[in-house]
């Protein structure tokens, strides 16, 4: 987890008294989002499937609670939660409210990704990504909906830029994240009259994450292909998260904040070395159903 001092930019205790539920919270990016909120005074609930991993992240996050808020801010974790199950999520929401008192913010960060061309992506694999990313996001908001109404809360979906153009080996993720963006747009309009804001953050290539290592097999000279000449840091997503949950964004809803150093504007460089020769070979192999 990146050690970043958010107080250099943001007001101390900006989120004091606020609570956030984060699915996929033990992932590299989402745990940094959690860290940003915690360092600025919020309490956080980390949700994931891998209980030991969730417990480990919770222990790390508890260490960064501001000393002045040790008796006030809390970090709790809930493992063995499958976002594809609305009953699992409803249980977690109820337990979060019991532990933290309420839920003001929701981050839908549970996701699954892997490199696979169409021919080698089975129907079950495609469905699994849709179920975790898209259905899981819907279920998370559904479970927390009453809390969001009561607290005039805010929702942040973790999206991507892979559907802005055709990206080989990522059809399953691109299709799913397009759905996440569409869901966010619709909920922003529906929830607006209730005082609930809904937005997306779309990370670009973030160094040190599992997704980066899977999607960018060759990192040599990769930074030179990014307009701002460096890969992203998890704190870049942390700062974007703080902004979208803060009062500075009180009139922002239904938007996608791309945090990628301008990378998507350059087109697809990630697997250009595999296009079209290697991709064509894979597409002509025996289909995986």
Lowest pLDDT segment from 69-78, 106-115, 272-281: 272-281
Residue 159 falls in the annotated catalytic set: yes
pLDDT at 186 over 90: yes
Q: How confident is the model at residue 219 (pLDDT cuts 50, 70, 90)?
A: confident
For domain 19-258+268-284, give the fold.
Answer: Rossmann fold (3.40.50)
Bridge partners of 105?
20, 154
Q: For position 270, what pLDDT does the model report? A: 60
Catalytic residue among 18, 39, 177, 184: 177
Mean per-residue pLDDT, 215-240:
87
SS3 string, 116-170, reads CCHHHCCHHHHHHHHHHHHHHHHHHHHHHHHHHHHHCCEEEEECCCCCCCCCCCC
pLDDT in tens, 53-66: 999 999 999 999 99
Catalytic residue among 26, 73, 159, 184: 159
Which two three-digit tokens encode residue 197?
């804001």
Residue 225 falls in the annotated catalytic set: no
Q: How confident is the model at residue 257 (pLDDT cuts 50, 70, 90)?
A: very high
Residue 217's CB is within 10 A of a number of other CB atoms, namely: 11
Q: What is the pTM of this model?
A: 0.95
| CA–CA distance, 44 with 19 (Å, rounded to integer) | 6
Which two three-digit tokens encode residue 93?
């929401």
């Amino acid at each position: 987890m990146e050690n970043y001092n958010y107080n250099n930019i943001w007001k101390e205790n900006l989120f004091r008294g606020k609570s956030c539920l984060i699915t996929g919270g033990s992932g590299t990016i989402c745990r940094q989002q959690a860290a940003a909120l915690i360092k600025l005074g919020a309490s956080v609930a980390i949700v994931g499937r891998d209980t030991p991993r969730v417990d480990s992240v919770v222990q790390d996050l508890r260490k960064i609670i501001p000393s002045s808020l040790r008796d006030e801010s809390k970090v709790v974790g809930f493992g063995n939660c499958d976002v594809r199950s609305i009953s699992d999520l409803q249980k977690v929401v109820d337990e979060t409210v019991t532990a933290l008192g309420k839920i003001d913010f929701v981050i839908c960060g549970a996701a699954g990704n892997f490199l696979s061309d169409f021919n080698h992506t089975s129907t079950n694999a495609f469905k699994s990504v849709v179920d975790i990313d898209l259905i899981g996001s819907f279920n998370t908001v559904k479970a927390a909906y009453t809390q969001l109404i009561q607290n005039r809360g805010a929702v942040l979906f973790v999206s991507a830029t892979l559907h802005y153009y055709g990206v080989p080996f990522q059809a399953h993720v691109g299709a799913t994240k397009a759905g996440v963006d569409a869901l966010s747009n619709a909920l922003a309009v529906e929830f607006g009259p209730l005082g609930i804001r809904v937005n997306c953050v779309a990370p670009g290539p973030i160094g040190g994450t599992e997704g980066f290592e899977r999607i960018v097999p060759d990192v040599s000279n990769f930074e030179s292909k990014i307009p701002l000449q460096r890969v992203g840091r998890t704190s870049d997503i942390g700062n974007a998260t703080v902004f979208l949950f803060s009062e500075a964004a009180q009139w922002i809803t239904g938007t996608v904040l791309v945090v990628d150093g301008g990378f998507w504007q350059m087109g697809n460089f990630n697997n250009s070395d595999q296009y079209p020769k290697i991709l064509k070979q894979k597409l002509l192999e025996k289909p995986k159903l």
